Chains A and B, each alone.
Chain A
Amino acid sequence: MDTMETAEISEISTIQKLENLLLVAVPRDMTDSDVLSLRRQVLQKARRYHSHWVLLDFSRVDICDSFFGRFIQSTARMADLMGANVIVSGLQDMVVETMVELGMTLSNIQAVLDLDEALALSRKSQTDSASISQQESDEQEKEASPADSQLERSTSIDMPLETRSEV
């Protein structure tokens, strides 16, 4: 079992496993030690759960400076080394504006709007990898009702935890 539990970060639900995705609700106003602790826990849990995806959700963060940028980049690089894909989600409008102004575009990291999208992405990749062999033979089927299957995927998601992007 994990002996290093959350020390500085008080929220229990900061890191949660959701299907094959590890959801990290990044707290705002972290200190350097908070960052180190969080990063360590993320990597530990990603390993434990064999997560393919690590979702860093920034819905709670309204001030995103270069320090945050570095946190995102270093976490991404570390998770990548461990075989997990890092996605960011929930970046607020005004945060995004400031980031691009600074030139902090995180161009090497995939970004999605929110948790719904992240899950859609992670599920799609699962389905894709499973159906690669079937892809050619099923192409006609897909063409017939692509919209429906797309919609189906979106609406069948039943969320215990929802993160909605805020302004």
Chain B
Amino acid sequence: MAEESSNRLEFSIKELPDVVRARRRGMEAAINMGFHPAEANKVAVVISELGRNIEQYAGEGTIILLTHTGENRHIQITAEDQGPGIPDVDRVLKGGYSTSQGLGLGVSGSKKLMDEFEVRSVVGKGTTIRAVKWLR
């Protein structure tokens, strides 16, 4: 009998200490799920990047962590804000380290570190970024 369960952690992001707390808890959760420390580290960095973007460009937002155990173990990060939005998402996602600045860097870098990456953004309304890492 395989038991499947989901755990949800929600972090309100207003200041950088919130980002620090969220990424720490995220790394812990990933390790507890069975992720290799290096993979858990990537999860922490993604939370850090997305959290910083929220704090810097939107002022406030939320980061939600969903850990799913059972058959298809994975961790999902959702970063939401009602900030200014990202004008050209495609360009941002394509950008490399050397060409991007700030927000773009955080987003394009995060994409490289995760298995699934989705950005939904409307200028003037806000941004939701969803990223998933599977436990192989």
Contact = CB atoms under 8 A, between A and B. Distances in A.
Direct contact of A and B (CB under 8 A): yes
B23 A102 contact: no
A66 B49 CA distance: 7
A67 B52 contact: yes
Interface in B63-114: 96-98, 105-106, 109, 112-113
A27 B40 CA distance: 20
A91 B64 CA distance: 29
User: Which residue, of B23, B40, B41, B113, has the highest number of chain A Cβ atoms within 10 A?
Assistant: B41
A99 B9 CA distance: 26
Interface size class of B (residues with CB under 8 A): 20 to 34
Nearest to B50: A65
Secondary structure call for the A interface: helix
Contacts of A117: none
Secondary structure call for the B interface: helix
A65 B37 contact: no
B27 interface: yes
A103 B96 contact: yes
Interface of B: 16-17, 20, 23-24, 27, 37-38, 40-42, 44-45, 48-49, 52, 96-98, 105-106, 109, 112-113
Given A62-B44, A94-B37, A104-B97, 11 more contacts: A29-B24, A62-B41, A63-B23, A63-B48, A65-B49, A67-B52, A93-B38, A94-B41, A98-B45, A101-B42, A167-B37
